[in-house]
Amino acid sequence: MYKGEGAYMKQDTLESRAITKNGVKRLCFSGFCILLEAAFIIVMITRLNEYAEIINLITRLFAGILVLFLYSSDKTSSMKMPWIILILVFPIMGVSLYLLIGLNGGTRKMKQRYIDIDRKLFPLLPENEEDLERIKKKTPKAGNISEYIQRNAHYPVYQNTDVTYYDEAIKGLHAQIDDLSKAEKFIFMEYHAIEDDKAWHQLQDVLVERAKAGVEVRVFYDDMGSIGFINTDFVKKMERLGIKCRVFNPFTPGLNVFLNNRDHRKITVIDGKVGFTGGYNLANEYFNYTNPYGQWKDTGIRLEGEAVRSLTITFLEMWNAVSEKDKNDTDFSQFLVQNDYQAKQNGFVQPYADIPMDDEQVGEEVYISMADKAEKYCWFMTPYLIITDEMSHALCLAAKRGVDVRIITPGIPDKKFIYSITRSFYHGLVKHGVRIYEWTPGFCHAKMSVADDCMATCGTINLDYRSLYHHFENGCFMADNQAVLDIRDDLKATMNDCREVTEEYLTGRSTYLRLGQLFMRLFAGLL
């Protein structure tokens, strides 16, 4: 049942608990910086009166230089302005926070590891210029987006690949289990969150059986995404079972607690022939084994054919870049086998990935491009709606051009304050013609888009700052194949279970933003 603007069910999920833990750490550090700012002011007043002016001048000067640096950067204004305001109002706290978490993209050493591995891996991807020319000729607007992905994310477009769309995560899980049981050479699995419980145990049983049969099995997960849901000895447990296991950015108190970048990808690769991706993690709630707040809506896709090569490269990038201490691969050819598969479908498939180590926001640019290129309709589903001015402008402009722009968000939130920020964006969109739907049965975690019956995306990329700017993400762009129509039909069916709130946020009292919403929205990019 739909809960009103001010009424929320107290819910707790795997992902929300992880977000809460991460948020608490940032909050604690922010509190420390505030205390430092207050202490500085008190010391200036009580003990450093004679030096107060010069100290204040130096502090303000440094803050001013940093503000000028931020202002001249290529970052979107939605990302720059919160930092500029924070630094100008509270120089010590603002500068401290920016130096710690604002320099998005990790350490120089970490960046170099990704540069080094990408130099080795990306040349192993095919150029597929003929496929690119075919999509540009057959579906020009999709071809334009495909060319952007190939040029800037380095992932080519493929044909000779069959795509199966799953409108429920449990269908994807069952298909994965079936395909995993047939693995002959290797299995790669990379997920933001793993819960050592029912859903994972079904997969684990198959992985152990395949490992005993001589198949190389690798599991990779994000420590922050999984913290509290698996024991600290999970890696050792996997190793004892014959499964190689690595962790992205292990939680280390006092050392790397506040690092802003997380691995949000969801990938399974089997023998380089079959691949899975989508919105779901490997935890019970994603498959409705548990129902923390109503029904869970999540989706995924299965790829079979040549496009799986890109998913394999994406996994190998993370596996080999995460640590310089572990023994990394020296021969990638064993995982990049020639695929003699003959696809039944003739559409275009383009898996891609995005990293926060560069200045290219691939996930956001694909979404913006779809809105820009759409002529009839452009629909989205996202669990969170916290977008930049550029994204908002693209959606509104499309609607003003007469394009049917719709966004589906959850009817029941996983986090009250994030949901409040999501709703704060409604009015700015609906007043220009964008239609907003809230899925009343529960929480929709899927991340999808579709436009004009010719192109669609499915993957891990939310319409929020964290996905678009801070996390390692992956998605799949599809054009001129059945999966595009399947996603369209699923979104249409999902809307039948939604409450359209367009009119409410156009003319009702919900159009007015509360002070708390304004504050949270301003600093949403820092959360």
Beta sheet of 348-354, edge-to-edge order: 348-354, 473-479, 455-459, 448-451, 377-381, 404-410, 435-439, 498-500
Classify residue 111 by burial, with Cβ atoms within 10 Å: 0-12, 13-18, 19+. Answer: middle
Within-domain flag for 8: no
Residues 166 and 275 in one domain: yes
Integer CA distances (angstroms), 339 to 126, 309, 398, in order: 12, 9, 40
Domain containing residue 369: CATH number = 3.30.870.10
- Per-residue pLDDT band for 308 (boundaries 50, 70, 90) equals very high
Q: Which of these three, 102, 122, 146, is where a domain ends?
A: 102
Within-domain flag for 3: no
Identify the pLDDT of residue 1: 38
Q: Are strands 216-222 and 274-278 parallel, antiparallel or unpaired?
A: unpaired
Identify the pLDDT of residue 184: 97
More confident residue, 437 or 512: 437
Within-domain flag for 291: yes
Average pLDDT of the segment spanning 484-498:
98
Range of the domain at 63: 14-102
Residues above pLDDT 70, as percent of the chain = 84
Average pLDDT of the segment spanning 62-85:
80
Within-domain flag for 444: yes
**Contact present, 237 and 160 (Cβ < 8 Å):** no
Tell me the pLDDT tens digit for each residue of 2-45: 334 434 344 455 555 555 555 555 556 666 767 776 776 676 66
Residues 167 and 302 in one domain: yes
Average pLDDT of the segment spanning 93-119:
77
Residues 114 and 97 in one domain: no
Residues 296 and 153 in one domain: yes
DSSP 36-69: HHHHHHHHHHHT-HHHHHHHHHHHHHHHHHHHHH
Residues 118 and 172 in one domain: yes
Residues 63 and 202 in one domain: no
Residues 251 and 376 in one domain: no
Residues 148 and 242 in one domain: yes
Residues 393 and 466 in one domain: yes
Tell me the pLDDT tens digit for each residue of 310-362: 999 999 999 999 887 788 999 999 999 887 899 999 999 999 999 988 889 99
Quick one: the chain helix, strand, coil %, rounded to 5?
50, 20, 30
pLDDT at position 169 over 90: yes
**Contact present, 475 and 382 (Cβ < 8 Å):** no
Within-domain flag for 87: yes
Identify the pLDDT of residue 459: 98
Average pLDDT of the segment spanning 295-314:
97
Identify the pLDDT of residue 526: 58
Identify the pLDDT of residue 252: 62
Poorest-pLDDT segment among 213-217, 327-331, 448-452: 327-331
Residues 222 and 289 in one domain: yes
Q: What is the mean pLDDT of the chain?
A: 87
Tell me the pLDDT tens digit for each residue of 248-257: 987 665 444 4
More confident residue, 14 or 399: 399
Tell me the pLDDT tens digit for each residue of 39-52: 766 766 666 566 66
| H-run or E-run covering 319 | helix 308-321
**Contact present, 481 and 356 (Cβ < 8 Å):** no
Within-domain flag for 1: no
pLDDT at position 219 over 90: yes
Within-domain flag for 6: no
Residue position matching structure tokens 């995982």: 335
Beta sheet of 274-278, edge-to-edge order: 161-166, 300-305, 274-278, 266-270, 186-191, 216-222, 244-248
Q: Which of these three, 48, 73, 102, is where a domain ends?
A: 102
Identify the pLDDT of residue 68: 86
- Per-residue pLDDT band for 83 (boundaries 50, 70, 90) equals confident
Domain count, the chain: 3
Q: Give the type of residue at 191.
A: Y
- Taking the CB of residue 36, how many other CB atoms lie within 10 A of it? 14
Identify the pLDDT of residue 2: 37
Residues 386 and 500 in one domain: yes
Q: Where are the alpha helices (DSSP H) in 153-240?
A: 169-180, 198-212, 223-226, 234-240
Rounded CA separation 452/447 (Å): 18
Integer CA distances (angstroms), 175 to 137, 184, 243, 314, 372, in order: 34, 17, 21, 21, 35
Residues 77 and 166 in one domain: no
Identify the pLDDT of residue 77: 75
**3-state DSSP call for residue 495?**
helix
Q: Which of these three, 68, 86, 102, is where a domain ends?
A: 102
Identify the pLDDT of residue 257: 41
Within-domain flag for 306: yes
